[in-house]
């Protein structure tokens, strides 16, 4: 007889939240292997079975035991709470099997049986907090370095994901949740709703809905999942709700569509429409600069420049992308633009303005070096992915150099003398624009 390994996720704990397939697999198994707490949770299904209880730290032992028993021709259920593939035993088991030379074509078959993971079980108890984009991060640094966890927390917080925190705290790991709170408060309002759900669908179930700034003071343990809302999440009548986003399109869930929107079509701010919205925003808000517009739309400066270049309805802004391979040519041409203003922006917000002239530019290897008596500036030219001519008639004429992620590396602008641009320099700038810009297809 061929052995079989069932990798069973039995859901949050209560039997009624176990899937039919999970229950059938446990019933069918000759051997049930699991962490002792999990074995207790399915005790009513274990009559007449060989039961192997393992401790928390014996994960690999559980996998090896399952393989050894299956090699004897037995049906083995390796059980885990929630979904066995979510911070569970499915991964380590496959790793052990594959290292031992097992393949899906081998005699021993493996079936992964999904279950309701803690984040959906916990969400169901507090309302509907996961109705829009969400992520999950485990705060356990037993196997994952803290810098990796911190970077992911930053990214999730910055991207406005609703976030589920697994393994938020234990007797020994008490500061990780404090750090997570500190990182989130850099991006989210202190009053952002947070649900703290302990032992969902188990005997000691406990639910707290608090503000983000109170999160780390709450009663949180090994069996807790923390759900942090996004910037639209709210609490009403004791329920934590993250809107599905329909409010962007519909007057109410059953009502007529909003002006400019169509049922069954992407929002006007969807992939094909947001660039038009951005240009209209610039046209309607004269005086707003492109950095501010990028911040407002949550897009990179490069994406904003490309959006403005794609139409001619952005008010006073006109933008054209530089043709491929014209980066050095634009530097050469700038020799005829007179005195220039060079602008560098540090990510943290500092802006450096330097007064220079193109005669000082020296390209050496990967670097554009500009050395004067007053300063030495080194721009990593190999990082420039593209550049855009940008002008606001009579106010600003320049070129902006951006990297692959659309971040500004360097900005050059023509300067006025006695309150006026020099006509020859302007003519040369426009000539370069005509000679070196990509042709744009405007709709």
Ligand X SMILES: C[S@@+](CC[C@H](N)C(=O)[O-])C[C@H]1O[C@@H](n2cnc3c(N)ncnc32)[C@H](O)[C@@H]1O
The verdict on 13 binding ligand X (CB under 6 A) reads yes
Binding ligand X (rule: CB under 6 A), the pick from 93, 199, 233, 268 is 199
**Nearest-approach distance from CB 199 to ligand X, in angstroms:** 5
Using CB under 6 A as the binding rule, the residues of this chain from 25 to 84 that contact ligand X are 80-83
Decide if 22 contacts 10 (C-beta within 8 A). Answer: yes
CA 163, CA 182: separation in Å to the nearest integer? 15
Q: Where are the alpha helices (DSSP H) in 228-313?
A: 274-284, 290-297, 301-309
Whole-number Å distance between alpha carbons of 301 and 403: 10
Residue choice 223, 314, 331, 370 for contact with ligand X (CB under 6 A) = 223
213 SS3 class: helix
**Which two structure tokens, joined as six digits, stand for 416?**
């006025």
Residue closer to ligand X, measured from CB, 113 or 368: 113
- Using the rule CB under 6 A, is 425 a contact of ligand X? no
| The one among 7, 79, 86, 241 contacting ligand X by CB under 6 A | 86
State which of residues 5, 153, 194, 200 lies at the interface with ligand X (CB under 6 A): 200
Measured between alpha carbons, how far apart are the two ends of the chain, in Å? 68
Task: Supply the minimum distance, in Å, between the C-beta of residue 83 and ligand X.
Answer: 4
Instruction: Please tell me the distance from the alpha carbon of residue 109 to that of residue 1, in angstroms, as a whole number.
Output: 12
| CA proximity to 82, closest of 22, 12, 130 | 12
Distance between CA atoms of 297 and 200, rounded to whole angstroms?
38
Q: How far is the CB of 89 from ligand X (least distance, A)?
A: 8
Q: Which is nearer to ligand X, 84 or 368 (CB)?
A: 84
Q: Are 18 and 77 in contact (CB under 8 A)?
A: no
Using the rule CB under 6 A, which residue among 26, 41, 153, 197 binds ligand X?
Answer: 197
33: number of Cβ within 10 Å: 24
Using CB under 6 A, which of 222, 323, 354, 385 touches ligand X? Answer: 222
- Residue 342 binds ligand X, judged by CB under 6 A: no
| R_g (Cα) of the chain, nearest Å | 30
Q: Which is nearer to ligand X, 226 or 327 (CB)?
A: 226
Residue 140 beta carbon to ligand X: minimum distance, rounded to whole angstroms: 7
- For ligand X, give the closer residue by CB, 196 or 330: 196
Cβ of residue 11: shortest distance to ligand X, in angstroms? 8
The interface region with ligand X, picked from 103-111, 197-205, 365-373, 426-434 by CB under 6 A, is 197-205
Find the part of the chain contacting ligand X (CB under 6 A) among 31-39, 208-216, 217-225, 385-393: 217-225
What would the two tokens of residue 384 be? Answer: 């420039």
Nearer to ligand X, 126 or 223 (CB): 223
With CB atoms as reference, the residue minimizing the distance to ligand X is 82
Where does 332-435 show beta strands of DSSP type E? Answer: 339-345, 351-357, 361-364, 367-371, 376-380, 386-392, 396-402, 408-414
Residue 130 beta carbon to ligand X: minimum distance, rounded to whole angstroms:
14
Q: Please, which residues bridge with residue 193 across strands?
A: 211
What minimum distance in Å lies between the beta carbon of 26 and ligand X?
16
Compose the 90-129 pattern: x for residues touching ligand X by CB under 6 A, - for all others: ---------------------------xx---x-------
| Residue 163 to residue 136: CA distance in whole angstroms | 5
User: In the complex with ligand X, which residue's Cβ is closer, 197 or 210?
Assistant: 197
Q: Are 294 and 301 in contact (CB under 8 A)?
A: yes
Number of residues in contact with ligand X, rule: CB under 6 A? 23
Q: Judge contact between 403 and 394, C-beta under 8 A.
A: no
- The count of other CB atoms within 10 Å of the CB of residue 173 is 15
Spatial distance between the Cα atoms of 95 and 60, rounded to a whole number of angstroms: 10
Stretch 154-173 residues interacting with ligand X (CB under 6 A) = 166-167
Residue indicated by tokens 């329920």: 239
225 binds ligand X (CB under 6 A): yes
Minimum distance between the CB of residue 125 and ligand X, rounded to whole angstroms?
A: 9
CA distance 75 to 27: 10
Residue nearer to ligand X on the CB measure, 62 or 249:
62
Taking alpha carbons only, the member of 59, 17, 20, 14 closest to residue 40 is 14
Nearer to ligand X, 106 or 170 (CB): 170
Closest approach, Cβ 188 to ligand X, in A, equals: 20
SS3 of 56, please?
A: coil
By CB under 6 A, which span of 15-23, 192-200, 303-311, 356-364 interacts with ligand X?
192-200
β-partners of residue 437 are: 322
Q: How far is the CB of 102 from ligand X (least distance, A)?
A: 23
Residues that bind ligand X (CB under 6 A): 12-13, 80-83, 86-88, 117-118, 122, 166-167, 197, 199-202, 222-225
């Amino acid at each position: 007889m061929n052995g079989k390994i069932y990798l069973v996720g039995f859901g949050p704990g209560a039997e009624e939240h176990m899937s039919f397939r999970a229950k059938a697999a446990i019933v069918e198994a000759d051997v049930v292997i699991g962490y002792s707490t999990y074995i207790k949770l399915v005790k009513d299904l274990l009559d007449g079975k060989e039961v192997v209880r393992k401790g928390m730290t014996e994960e690999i032992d559980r996998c090896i035991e399952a393989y050894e028993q299956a090699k004897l021709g037995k049906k083995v259920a390796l059980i885990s709470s929630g979904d066995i593939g979510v911070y569970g035993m499915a991964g380590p088991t496959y790793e052990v099997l594959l290292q031992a030379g097992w393949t899906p074509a081998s005699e021993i078959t493996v079936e992964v049986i999904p279950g309701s993971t803690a984040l959906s079980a916990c969400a169901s108890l507090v309302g509907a907090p996961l109705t829009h984009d969400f992520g999950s991060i485990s705060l356990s640094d037993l196997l994952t370095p803290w810098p990796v966890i911190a970077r992911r927390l930053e990214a999730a917080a910055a991207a406005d994901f609703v976030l589920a925190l697994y393994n938020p705290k234990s007797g020994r790991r008490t500061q990780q949740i404090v750090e997570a709170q500190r990182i989130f408060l850099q991006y989210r309002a202190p009053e952002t709703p947070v649900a703290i759900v302990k032992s969902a669908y188990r005997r000691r179930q406990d639910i707290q809905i608090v503000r983000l700034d109170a999160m780390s003071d709450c009663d949180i343990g090994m069996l807790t999942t923390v759900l942090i809302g996004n910037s639209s999440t709210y609490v009403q009548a004791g329920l934590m709700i993250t809107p599905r986003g329909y409010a962007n399109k519909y007057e109410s869930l059953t009502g007529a569509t909003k002006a400019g929107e169509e049922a069954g079509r992407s929002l006007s701010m969807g992939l094909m429409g947001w660039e038009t919205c951005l240009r209209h925003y610039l046209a309607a808000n004269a005086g707003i600069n492109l950095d501010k517009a990028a911040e407002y739309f949550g897009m990179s400066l490069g994406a904003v420049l490309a959006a403005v270049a794609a139409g001619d309805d952005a008010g006073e802004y006109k933008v054209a992308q530089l043709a491929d391979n014209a980066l050095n040519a634009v530097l050469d041409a700038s020799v005829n633009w007179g005195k220039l203003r060079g602008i560098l922006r540090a990510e943290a917000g500092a802006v450096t303005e330097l007064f220079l002239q193109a005669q000082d530019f020296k390209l050496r290897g990967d670097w554009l070096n500009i050395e004067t008596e007053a300063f030495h500036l080194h721009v990593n030219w190999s990082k420039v992915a593209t550049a855009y001519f940008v002008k606001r008639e009579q106010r600003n004429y320049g070129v902006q150099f951006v990297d692959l992620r659309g971040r500004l590396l360097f900005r050059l602008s023509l300067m006025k003398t006695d309150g006026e641009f020099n006509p020859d320099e302007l003519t040369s700038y426009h000539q370069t624009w005509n000679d070196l810009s990509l042709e744009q297809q405007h709709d």
